[in-house]
Every structure is written in structure tokens, then in C-alpha cells.
């Protein structure tokens, strides 16, 4: 049996449409009253809420989606539920001046959001350069924030100096009950890995069922033979880990994953359940540490058995 690092339950923000149907138990709620002169922002991506903490005081987040099934929003925000299927009813209830979403996920909502009389800004977060550019767009959209733009510039500098010490083949997996998907360079985690000097174990033409996601068939997995396996678990990580272990037993197509010399790691959901935006450098350092053997004590704690 391979050694797997564990984490608390996580939902990957780049989760699949088939997972979007899972229900969030949320009570309808209106945003708390605020200064009517401030720009009211509703976000369909957690990273926007984080970024706007550094924006000017002329903007405030009034509604947001959840990072995970079990993580309610802070008091006062309208809970829009699942990032892949946000509640349009609660979005209208929040009465935002601006809605910010991801182009790859929320473009299909443009007409519906427009019919609510709301302005929608779509940005691109499936790549690291796209994410940096999007953070700058978000700053401009709320009137410009010197602090936020300085943090984006610092993030870009930090990422530029991070590389793995040796070339490795990495296999980023998204795991849900009964199914696994391989994340490609069209997913933010796959793109981050390649920018850090890793090679994706599944490359070349592939059948993407969803943007950045390839069904992890026996044929696809047999081609990988990775040095490092990264697992983002949606649901109970123990069950998903056990499912992956069962698949690697014997001499089947998945058996090579058990031989990954750098191991199989269930990633910390606080950083990897969704594109972390301004925390990308911290996420990158975790990945580099898995290859270079420089995991910090903080990182080690997130990878221990619960």
C-alpha cells in the first residue's frame, strides 16, 4: 500500500459540472446594510473575496460562493452556494453593483445575470499568468487599489524565483467518490506545476471531459508513471484515499502510482481546494518542498494523518 498524506475534506474549486449538483444547506440571507456609496461586489470565486480585503474602501463584498461544502461564509455575506451552480435568486437578493466570475466556468451565466440587471466581469484564472492579470483587472474594476496591485507585483516576483531542484513527472489528480480526473495544464494546479519546472505525467492530446480535466481511465493512467502524485480530494479523504489504494493494488494500470518515488500527497484544502489567488506563492512553495525535501513544519502538519 502506498503512503498517502492526508488532509481534511476539501472541495476543489475547479470541480466538475457533475459535482455541481451537490446541495449546499444554506439559509436565504440578505447582505447587511452598508454605505450606499460603496461599490457592492458579488463574487463567484473565493479568490476575489480575499483580494478585495486589500482593495480601497470604496468597495465591499456582499455575496460570495463557498470554498467547501462544510465552510459557511462569514456573517453578513449572502451565501451563493456552489461555485459551479451559484444561486441566482440569492445573487439578485444581494443587489450587487458588480458580479465577478471565471470566464471558463461562468460565461454560461452571462445572459441570466444580465437579465437580473447586474453587471458581470469575467476573468481568467485557469493559468498563473491569467490569475495575475485577473487580480489587476479586479483592482481596476473597483476603482484601483495601490495596496492590492503592490501585492500582485510581489506575488509575481515570488513565483519567478521558485523552481524545483530536479525535473520530475507529476500527476495532479482530482478525486471524488468513485471517480478520479487528471488535471492538465489548462487547470491552475497543472499550470502552476509546469511553471515550477515539473512535467505533467499526462501530456499530449487528451480527451478533456471538462476544461482542464481528463477522465482518469485505465488507458490514461497507464501512460503516466509519475514521480509525484498530487491528490485534491472532494468528500471524505479517507474514502477517496482508500479507493485510490485499491486501484493501485496488483499489476493493473494504476499500480505505477504506488511506485511514485516522491509519494502520493493529499493536498491541504486551505491552499488547494480552489485557486488561492494572492496565496499562490505559498501553494507553490509547498509543491517545491515536496520535490526538494524542504517541507516546513507548517506544511508537514497539514499532510499528517488526521
DSSP letter for 240, please.
H
Mean pLDDT of the chain: 82
**pLDDT higher for 24 or 70?**
70
User: Taking phi first (over 0 means left), then psi (-120 to 50 degrees means alpha), and beta for anything else, what does residue 116 get?
Assistant: alpha
Q: What's the number of CA atoms in the CB half-sphere (13 Å) around residue 226?
A: 26
Q: Single out the residue of 65, 66, 71, 64 nearest to residue 9, CA to CA.
A: 71
Rounded mean pLDDT, 164-182? 91
Q: What is the pLDDT of residues 210-243, one digit of tens each?
A: 778 888 888 888 888 899 999 988 777 778 888 8
**The last residue of a domain, from among 159, 179, 194:** 159
In a domain? residue 22: no
Query: How many domains does the structure of the chain reveal?
Result: 2
Is-contact 158 282, C-beta < 8 A? no
Q: Could you tell me the pTM of the whole model?
A: 0.81
Classify strands 169-176 and 179-183 as parallel, antiparallel or unpaired: antiparallel
In a domain? residue 23: no
Residue 28 has pLDDT above 60, yes or no: no
Q: What is the pLDDT of residues 111-134, one digit of tens each?
A: 999 999 999 999 999 999 999 999
What would the grid cell of residue 303 be? 499532510
Rounded mean pLDDT, 77-96? 93
Count other C-beta atoms under 10 Å from residue 89's C-beta: 10
DSSP symbols for 102-166: EHHHHGGGHHHHHHTT-EEEEE--SSHHHHHHHHHHHHHHTT--HHHHHHHHHHHHHHHT---SS
> What distance in Å separates the CA atoms of residue 105 and residue 127, rounded to the nearest whole number?
14
Give me the domain span that covers residue 248: 4-15+163-302
Residue 246 has pLDDT above 80, yes or no: yes
**pLDDT higher for 30 or 70?**
70
Domain co-membership, 62 together with 121: yes
In a domain? residue 109: yes
**The last residue of a domain, from among 159, 183, 205:** 159
The domain that holds 277 is classified in CATH as: 3.40.50.1980
In a domain? residue 205: yes
Domain co-membership, 40 together with 139: yes
In a domain? residue 24: no
Is-contact 189 127, C-beta < 8 A? no
Q: What is the CA radius of gyration of the chain?
A: 19
Amino acid at each position: 500500500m502506498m503512503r498517502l498524506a492526508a488532509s481534511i475534506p476539501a472541495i476543489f474549486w475547479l470541480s466538475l459540472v457533475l459535482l455541481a449538483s451537490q446541495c449546499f444547506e444554506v439559509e436565504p440571507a440578505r447582505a447587511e446594510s452598508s454605505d450606499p456609496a460603496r461599490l457592492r461586489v458579488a463574487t463567484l470565486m473565493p479568490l476575489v473575496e480575499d483580494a478585495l480585503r486589500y482593495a480601497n474602501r470604496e468597495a465591499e463584498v456582499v455575496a460570495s460562493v463557498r470554498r467547501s461544502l462544510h465552510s459557511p461564509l462569514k456573517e453578513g455575506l449572502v451565501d451563493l452556494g456552489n461555485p459551479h451552480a451559484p444561486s441566482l435568486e440569492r445573487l439578485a437578493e444581494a443587489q450587487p453593483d458588480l458580479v465577478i466570475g471565471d470566464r471558463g466556468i461562468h460565461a454560461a451565466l452571462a445572459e441570466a445575470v444580465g437579465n437580473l440587471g447586474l453587471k458581470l466581469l469575467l476573468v481568467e484564472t485557469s493559468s498563473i499568468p491569467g490569475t495575475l492579470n485577473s487580480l489587476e483587472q479586479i483592482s481596476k474594476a473597483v476603482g484601483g487599489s495601490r495596496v492590492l496591485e503592490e501585492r500582485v507585483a510581489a506575488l509575481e516576483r515570488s513565483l519567478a524565483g521558485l523552481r524545483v531542484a530536479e525535473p520530475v513527472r507529476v500527476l495532479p489528480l482530482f478525486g471524488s467518490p468513485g471517480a478520479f480526473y487528471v488535471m492538465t495544464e489548462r487547470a491552475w494546479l497543472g499550470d502552476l506545476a509546469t511553471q515550477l519546472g515539473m512535467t505533467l505525467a499526462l501530456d499530449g492530446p487528451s480527451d478533456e471531459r471538462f476544461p482542464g480535466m481528463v477522465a482518469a481511465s485505465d488507458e490514461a493512467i497507464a501512460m503516466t508513471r509519475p514521480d509525484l502524485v498530487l491528490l485534491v480530494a472532494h468528500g471524505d479523504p479517507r474514502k477517496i484515499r482508500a479507493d485510490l489504494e485499491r486501484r493501485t493494488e496488483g499489476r493493473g494500470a494504476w499500480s505505477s502510482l504506488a511506485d511514485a518515488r516522491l509519494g502520493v500527497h493529499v493536498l491541504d484544502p486551505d491552499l488547494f481546494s480552489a485557486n488561492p489567488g494572492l496565496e499562490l506563492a505559498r501553494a507553490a512553495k509547498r509543491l517545491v518542498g515536496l520535490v526538494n525535501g524542504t517541507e516546513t513544519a507548517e506544511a508537514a502538519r497539514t499532510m499528517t494523518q488526521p
